[in-house]
Amino acid sequence: MSGTTEEMKEISVEVGPHMQTHKFTGKLLGCAGSYAIEHGYETEVYQTKRGQIAVWQSYDEAPSTLETFATVDAADLPKDIKDDVLVALGLDLPEIKLDI
């Protein structure tokens, strides 16, 4: 994968019901917008030093999660976040065909 010019750095996120700190090397590619955050939904997407896609998510009172995926498509992200991630990676956005 290509990537943004942002340097990899140590990322620290809190995961699970006990808010255990998880650390890894990566760079932020995209995150939930202000509307989602205002409604209790947070998502941060990172590219790891090994080229994986790491997705940290938190929703209201539910324990936050951290999952890794081999590809952006496998992460099954909301469209707005996925588009931001694809752009950050220097990849083309998918073509949208309209029947209008």
Indicate whether 96 belongs to any domain: no
What distance in Å separates the CA atoms of residue 72 and residue 51, rounded to the nearest whole number? Answer: 11
How is residue 71 annotated by DSSP? Answer: S
Q: Which residues of the chain have pLDDT under 50?
A: 1-3
pLDDT at residue 54, as a whole number? 97
Q: How many domains does the chain have?
A: 1
Indicate whether 19 belongs to any domain: yes
The strand order across the sheet containing 20-31 reads 9-15, 20-31, 41-48, 53-59, 65-69
Q: Which two tokens stand for residue 60?
A: 């209201």
What distance in Å separates the CA atoms of residue 64 and residue 81, rounded to the nearest whole number? Answer: 18
Indicate whether 4 belongs to any domain: no
pLDDT at residue 5, as a whole number? 53
Indicate whether 82 belongs to any domain: yes
Range of the domain at 45: 9-88
